[in-house]
Structure 1
């Protein structure tokens, strides 16, 4: 089980009033309030219509209530077969539901976000993406209202959360590897794929992280700008910006159906339309309910690799020990 104490990491520096400061986060014990938002869009009657996304919402909702003790009254679902206009997955409804999900969040709460639908990419304008593209999701009315960018999803669902609050996100969509802009991406060996924050020693980085924790956006971007100026190369620059502006003391985890460069399958399993990632996530935990993060990542990949080329990703808002048990 995850430790309950504050987790410090990275270099120590002298901060304001000559006090020693160090980046930190806190794991959630997931024994507080539980809330979930599940979105499934089949895009009925549109180009690129999908078949399994609404089923994914039904399956994930049942799984949360049966296995993780979520209550139906605390789960909001948005699907394009809904008769209530407020339950249709339009851009406005999705953003309002995201705000509902994180409203009044407290330490040890467990929030769950699930999205099954189309995903894509668009040009990155703030320099936090090594490949030069932000990841996006497509609401039902995207042709009129536009897509939702990963920067905005992070700002709405991650940035407001306090230390010790869990957000578990599942993106069953194409190009979703970093769809929530969480900067620490893990390999199947349980290691961070890029150099972690401890290796990014520097006063500017610490200032950016502490400014983020205080909600001082001006200070955060000023500090991040200093890091960018000293960085060399697009990938290195993007990595530094992402770590400086996307690290969080909250306990945010994202499971995504594929790498940023890949597509995710809308498929059939046992004769029923489903998203491959949603199916694999449920199947892996049904087979073995108690798994570490590293074990679960490998379990999901093992289920998918027999039939699909997509490689699910695990990312977090802080450096984490992937050998602890996955709870939500």
Structure 2
């Protein structure tokens, strides 16, 4: 069908637009984005922005198949509906997007590479593409309920800028209700900054770096908590999987699980430190992060051959995929053991670690392995509670 005289959605804000007959360029009245349409090609097929996005995602899936086959099975097993489902990527950030009752599982995946910078990361896009495949193929997440942001996307609304990440997080919890399972996965840089509201035990807030952090600033743990933790209603479950430096308490959750090498653990109460409520509205929030607040993590090829990945993301997927029915305690131990065995995440080892030591976290002088961390909005027995998404 021709696009003439039809309603289409803005690729950036999602508002519906009317395209006049014989018009191939229209400007959105809300966000002023200019949207271009092409006439029929020689096959007589209309190529609007939705088809373009689907085609783009097909290319990404082929990239996963050829470059990351050591980590997950080939994505050639994707049904066609999975690839075409990514046409909805331009819509979820729209404030008026309805939440379908059958979309009880939703996810936001952010892979930030920082192209053109000396602190560029090489494995973050691999991380989010593998996570997307894993959520769809292994855990039953609908393909059109996953919003993926990375610098490889052609749609400006899918670049992991501070504004786009903020909007994606709001979408993640919009209209959530009992029975919903939400996932926030971030692969990129993290750091610390001075805490000015007195809610941190160590005096530092944890932050995540959007791609435009140098001009727009970082996203603090206080903001993340207020956006996706506190709104969670009774019966809703959120898992944050954060592959970044200094990410141990990046969701600012009240309870932090402290585990030693032998697997013994205790819960630290960080909620009583602050006069600001850091829990949920009755739901459960759990954060699994790459390392403690005083540690750094780094891209590595030690786990997947010549392909760069985040050590934590790789170990997380492998543990959950290879051991059905595992508990939170066994998951945490499996990830830590894999990282120790491959000797990844050592300070002073590699350019990113050296930069992190000199610039991001100069007060640390210890050499240590990164140790994945667990924190939660409530305490539970980590060895008897099954891990489920």
Q: TM-score, normalised by structure 2?
A: 0.64
CA contact (8 A) 1:304 1:310 kept: yes
Q: 1:278 to 1:299 in 2, by over 3 A?
A: same
Aligned to 1:27: none
Aligned to 1:250: 283
Secondary structure of the corresponding residue to residue 277 of structure 2: helix
Q: CA deviation at 1:239?
A: 5.2
Q: Distance in 1 between matches of 2:155 and 2:318?
A: 31
The answer as to 2:346 corresponding to 1:314 is: no
Deviation by residue 1:54-110 (Cα, 9 ceiling, x = unmatched): 100000000101111001100000001111000000000000000000000001100
> Structure 1: 5+ residue runs without aligned partners?
1-30, 197-237
Aligned to 2:385: 324
Q: Relative contact order: is structure 1 or structure 2 higher (C-alpha 8 Å, sep ≥ 6)?
A: 1
Q: TM-score, normalised by structure 1?
A: 0.75
Aligned to 2:300: 267
Aligned to 1:141: 212
* Higher Rg of the two aligned structures: 2
Aligned to 2:62: none
Secondary structure of the corresponding residue to residue 174 of structure 1: coil
CA contact (8 A) 1:184 1:192 kept: no
Secondary structure of the corresponding residue to residue 296 of structure 2: coil
CA contact (8 A) 2:207 2:220 kept: yes
Q: CA deviation at 1:51?
A: 0.2
Q: Distance in 2 between matches of 1:32 and 1:166?
A: 14
How many residue pairs match? The answer is: 256
> Structure 2: 5+ residue runs without aligned partners?
1-101, 345-368
CA contact (8 A) 2:108 2:184 kept: yes
CA contact (8 A) 2:253 2:271 kept: no
Secondary structure of the corresponding residue to residue 374 of structure 2: strand
Aligned to 1:305: 340
Aligned to 1:126: 197
Q: Distance in 2 between matches of 1:243 and 1:285?
A: 36
Q: Distance in 2 between matches of 1:318 and 1:297?
A: 17
Secondary structure of the corresponding residue to residue 314 of structure 1: strand
Deviation by residue 1:215-241 (Cα, 9 ceiling, x = unmatched): xxxxxxxxxxxxxxxxxxxxxxx6523
Q: Distance in 1 between matches of 2:209 and 2:144?
A: 26
Equivalent residue runs for 1:221-300 within 5 Å: 240-242=272-274, 245-248=277-280, 249-268=282-301, 269-300=304-335
User: What is the aligned-residue RMSD (CA, Å)?
Assistant: 1.6
The answer as to 2:237 corresponding to 1:193 is: no
Deviation by residue 1:104-135 (Cα, 9 ceiling, x = unmatched): 00011000000000000011011111110000
Q: Distance in 1 between matches of 2:267 and 2:293?
A: 14
Question: When you count helix as a share of all residues, which structure comes out higher?
Answer: 1
